[in-house]
Amino acid sequence: MHGDVDRTRVLNRRVVFLGVGKAVLLSTLIGRLYFLQVLEADRYKLLSDENQFNIYPLAPPRGRIVDRLGTPLAVNAQNFQAQVVLEVARDLNRVLDAISAIYPLSEHDRQRIRREAEHRRRFMPVTVAENLSWEQMARLQVNAPDLPGLVISQGLTRNYPLRELGAHILGYVSSVSEDDESDDPLMDLPGFRIGKAGVERTHDLALRGRGGTYTVEVNAVGRIMKEHDRQEGEPGAEVRLSLDIRLQKFAAERLGEESGAVVVMDIHTGEVVLMASSPSFDPNAFSRGLNAQEWKDLITNPRSPLTNKVIAGQYAPGSTFKMMVALAALEAGVATPDTRVSCPGFYNLGNARFHCWKKGGHGSLDMVSGIMHSCDVYFYEMSHRVGIDRIADMARRFGMGSRLGIELPGERPGLIPDRRWKKANMRESWQAGETLVAGIGQGFMLATPLQLCTMVARIANGGFATTPHLTIHPADPHLVKPSNLSTVGVADKHLEVVRRGMYSVSNIPGGTAYASRVMLPGLQMSGKTGTSQVRRISAQERATGVRKNEDLPWLERDNALFVAYAPESSPRYAIAVIVEHGGSGSKAAAPIARDIMTEVLKLDPAGENERIASREQKGGEG
């Protein structure tokens, strides 16, 4: 009996617990139904009418690019855009016809719009036209009722206030193409542009910033009813370059109509303070969009305005390479600074005769005077003694034959050949005559102006492996250059011989660049001229008289080169100049280098930054 009572009590407790649980669940259900059907009735009524909330990405302002002193090089400008929402427009062709009556659209424009529409979700707007004037925008806005799906938006477009100045370094932005795959939702925005060349491309992610979002309520046909929420993104980072725009402007004016390149770098830090390639182009044309004719004119121009010749132009270095031969010979012990060679105007090797640039010869020369007079015969003999493999090794230690890692896309490696290279690439053995030709910077030899400038910087700074770079405040941490530099492993006494030779080139009467010496007191420039052939001179031409460069078609004229550093007493800057098909290095390239280096020494951009930093530090301490 007692057991039955206990079982009844347990059963009653369970019934109570179950009843309470059911009551709680029922209360929750009733509360939820009340919330949905009473408190949220208006919201769900709106949704029941087929309204929906769409979340769109919001593009942040692109980061600025400035020079070393803060001068804006790439900024953002106001931009009116005409866009069409396909979901509302329904018939795209009909809407485009209607727009064309107000704002002319070419067939190229129409094809671009249709192609973009095929790859975009129907509720996303497609850009029809941008960079509209106020009048064009107003006319379209007034006619909007007859243009279903038309949306006029106001945004920002990339602007390069200095136009051609620095265009090859800055690069440009352009529309996202099918090949630009990314998970970034900003890439789906109509008219969104990304970096396609230069610094704009290298630092694109940092300059792009982080996108925001905005939530809008749209009705059943896709019309925006109202905006509900907006989350602003983060503006792109500012990128400060080592360039001095004052020097860029001076170099552009000095190069004028010449096709060529100039680069100047700080021999200690590697900062590039000037990088000019001529002819240039206007990157603003890419921001607004090039038409077919404009693009054709750029890519068919024989002077290659789209090519940054400082990093992508590969040229035979000519006599500017002779310093490498001299250093290789000194290090190998096959010659001393006092080793003399007699130059009768030619050099015989077996049955072949190799000519000096000076028909009557230079007479007897030591190494310094060989560099001073740029005697080919002297360096035929040096290269024959030391051999191509040692020459190639020395050149590579001074930055030639491989990419230097400058923060720009499109850098070319140049070419420093040796026995192994020829065997691997041409399946042939190296010939002794090829060593002689390489010894004066011809034959297979190729170098970029940036490599030649780096070579001179390492000679001038005592053999430290300075690497050129453009970014003072990198947007990407891995681009920061190490402060501790390795050496190229060449004895300073050997470098001193070469430096004495370069000083003589520019400052001693009879030197090949004496006429282009820097005249600033105490700020002499030490340099080396170079002239590289772009065609082979036949024996018949030598017998009958070689035509002067100015009598040849432009593309057959010699390239003119000049490299230098200054000031001689306390070196700080290295320069390399090439004038494509300019003829003589001493006549075409050296005067340009003299004028630009004079301006560099007057402005002293590296020293100016140091003085500013020193004043700021003193001000902070005070």
CB atoms within 10 A of CB 575: 28
Kindly state the tokens that stand for 26.
């029922």
* Nearest residue to 592 (alpha-carbon basis) of 260, 309, 358: 260
- Is the Cβ–Cβ distance between 262 and 276 less than 8 Å? yes
- Amino acid identity of residue 574, one-letter, is A
Contact 139, 99 (CB under 8 A): no
Q: Is 319 a catalytic residue?
A: yes
Q: DSSP alpha helices (H): ranges in 175-308?
A: 198-202, 204-208, 245-255, 284-288, 292-300
Q: Both tokens of residue 501? A: 């030779």
CA distances from 101 to 16, 97, 140, 144 (A): 80, 7, 10, 13
Please enumerate in sequence order all residues whose Cβ is within 8 A of that of 303, keeping only pairs 6 or more positions apart, or say none. 259, 279, 580
Handedness of CA 70, 72, 78, 84 (dihedral sign): negative
**In which element (H, E) is residue 214 found?**
strand 212-218
Q: Tokens 């681009």: give the residue.
A: 479
The vertex-176 CA angle with 172 and 180, nearest 5°, equals: 105
Q: Residue 450 to residues 333, 443, 453, 493: CA-CA distances in angstroms? A: 30, 20, 5, 26
Query: Cβ(574)–Cβ(267) under 8 Å?
Result: yes
The catalytically annotated residue of 319, 369, 374, 584 is 319
Q: Report which secondary-structure segment, H or E, holds 227.
A: strand 224-231
Residues belonging to the active site: 319
